[in-house]
């Protein structure tokens, strides 16, 4: 019976019979597993396992996973893996791991940081998206030259704190961070993951550090940095499309003028202006890339981080929550000071932060910002939910997968078994 069901799937079932076939497969698997328990034979168990594996492979070819029951609804898996590129907004320990490959002694984050590795107090945006899509958890990845060799680790999250699309010119950037900028992240991911392609979902969220670098460079040089960053983003999208990746989500930049570092300063208006400038370029880039690659099935979607983060700030403000102050002391001095960085590099130790009253561990999510640059876990949760609810579904529009989604979201009680 299972072989017959699989054969029908291979021949491409019509949407009309899809629900019945899925239920039939489930019933057949349950029957075989029950038979195994009854007879207790190793051969029967092996045959059942093989049949289930075969079914998984067939369903995988249709870009769905084996039907499972979740609150009386079937779930669907459109992608095999996720890949993340970016900066500290998505860093799950990349910079920390990279530093520890060259440090004489271990460098760690204090427990105030999420799992002692991320610049927030909770899971980051794409961690939540990956979990919500039921994909394999993200793992740290990086590659950079050091002391006539290469320090590297294969993974699926290459986003590194301090990374940008354009290079910096201080000591830490020259040693490590410039080798973790966007183009280098893409290069490393492609080299480490040769199977990267159409079944994978790629996220790019960067540019905040480019804007801040442009902010300090003066008008003429600042505009050059903005133009260069936009061009690097376009190159990154093209590289992924050339590799065969067909599902790409690109975030624009949040309003840098609204982060605590610049709120109330003489740089706030310029920070916002630079953010708007680069975001306008991103719209043109995505339009060009979609036009260029549409015949190859590539979709590049915009995650409007600028709009969503601004709306969150406004909503928190209406509730009387803190929207302008950091919740903890900053850690940037550990990296911006050459003396402090060399002390950290040679002696190791813990990167500390402390809560700023009235913020505590318990009420941290009653604020927008974790520190002077990064959002709290509560904000990351809202951003992740928005991507799951409003961005990812756009991949399914006008696609064959839409037919399977229709089945997957149908209650088991509504499926006609006749």
Domain positions in the chain: 2-77+401-414, 81-396
Q: What is the H or E stretch that residue 301 is in?
A: strand 299-303
Q: How far apart are CA 274 and CA 283, in angstroms?
A: 15
pLDDT the model gives residue 153: 97
Please list, in sequence order, all residues whose beta carbon lies within 8 angstroms of the beta carbon of residue 40, skipping any fewer than 6 positions away: none
pLDDT the model gives residue 174: 83
DSSP 8-state class, residue 391: I
CA quadruple 406, 241, 249, 222: dihedral, nearest 10:
-160
Beta strands in 43-199 (DSSP E): 69-70, 73-74, 81-86, 107-109, 142-146, 149-153
Q: Would you state the structure tokens that stand for residue 90, as one six-digit string? A: 């998505």
Place of tokens 């260029």: 292
CB-based contact 345:104 (threshold 8 Å): yes
Partners of 143 in the β-ladder: 152
CA angle 244, 278, 238 (to 5 degrees): 15
pLDDT the model gives residue 333: 66
pLDDT the model gives residue 365: 92
- Cβ–Cβ contacts within 10 Å for residue 316, how many? 21
pLDDT the model gives residue 114: 96
Q: What is the H or E stretch that residue 230 is in?
A: helix 219-243
pLDDT the model gives residue 51: 42
pTM of the complete model: 0.77
Chain centroid, CA 185 distance in Å: 13
Antiparallel, parallel or unpaired: β 142-146 and 69-70: unpaired
pLDDT means per 10 residues, the chain with 418 residues, are 37 41 45 43 42 43 40 52 97 94 88 95 97 95 92 97 92 85 98 95 97 92 96 98 96 97 96 96 96 94 96 96 94 69 79 93 95 96 96 72 35 32
DSSP 8-state class, residue 135: P
User: What is the CATH code of the structural domain delimited by 81-396?
Assistant: 3.40.50.1110
Distance between terminal CA atoms of the chain?
17
- Cβ–Cβ contacts within 10 Å for residue 145, how many? 12
């Amino acid at each position: 019976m299972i072989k017959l069901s699989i054969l029908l799937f291979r021949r491409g079932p019509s949407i009309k019979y899809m629900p019945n076939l899925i239920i039939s497969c489930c019933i057949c698997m349950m029957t075989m597993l029950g038979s195994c328990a009854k007879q207790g034979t190793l051969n029967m168990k092996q045959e059942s396992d093989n049949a289930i594996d075969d079914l998984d492979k067939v369903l995988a070819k249709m870009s769905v996973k084996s039907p499972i029951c979740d609150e009386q609804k079937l779930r669907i898996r459109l992608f095999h893996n996720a890949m993340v590129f970016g900066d500290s907004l998505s860093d799950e320990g990349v910079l920390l791991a990279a530093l520890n490959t060259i440090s004489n002694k271990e460098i760690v984050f204090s427990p105030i940081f999420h799992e002692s590795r991320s610049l927030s107090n909770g899971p980051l945006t794409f961690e939540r998206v990956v979990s919500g899509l039921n994909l394999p958890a993200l793992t740290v990845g990086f590659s950079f030259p050091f002391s006539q060799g290469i320090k590297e680790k294969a993974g699926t999250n290459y986003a590194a704190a301090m990374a940008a699309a354009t290079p910096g010119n201080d000591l830490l950037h020259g040693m490590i961070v410039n080798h973790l900028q966007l183009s280098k992240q893409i290069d490393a991911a492609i080299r480490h993951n040769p199977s990267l392609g159409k079944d994978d979902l790629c996220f790019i969220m960067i540019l905040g550090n480019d804007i801040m670098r442009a902010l300090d460079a003066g008008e003429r040089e600042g505009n050059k940095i903005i133009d260069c960053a936009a061009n690097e983003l376009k190159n990154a999208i093209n590289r992924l499309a050339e590799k065969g990746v067909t599902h790409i989500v690109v975030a624009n930049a949040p309003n840098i003028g609204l982060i605590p570092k610049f709120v109330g300063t003489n740089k706030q208006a310029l920070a916002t202006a630079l953010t708007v400038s680069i975001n306008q370029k991103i719209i043109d880039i995505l339009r060009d890339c979609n036009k260029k690659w549409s015949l190859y099935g590539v979709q590049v979607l915009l995650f409007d981080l600028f709009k969503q983060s601004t709306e969150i700030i406004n909503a928190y403000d209406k509730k009387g929550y803190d929207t302008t102050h950091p919740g903890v002391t900053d850690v940037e001095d550990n990296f911006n000071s050459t003396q402090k960085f060399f002390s950290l590099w040679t002696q190791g130790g813990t990167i500390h932060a402390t809560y700023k009253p009235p913020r505590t561990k318990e009420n941290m999510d009653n604020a927008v910002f974790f520190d002077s640059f990064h959002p709290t876990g509560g904000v990351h949760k809202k951003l992740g939910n928005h991507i799951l609810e409003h961005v990812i579904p756009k991949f399914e529009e006008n696609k064959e997968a839409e037919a399977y989604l229709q089945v997957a979201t149908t209650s088991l009680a509504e499926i006609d078994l006749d």
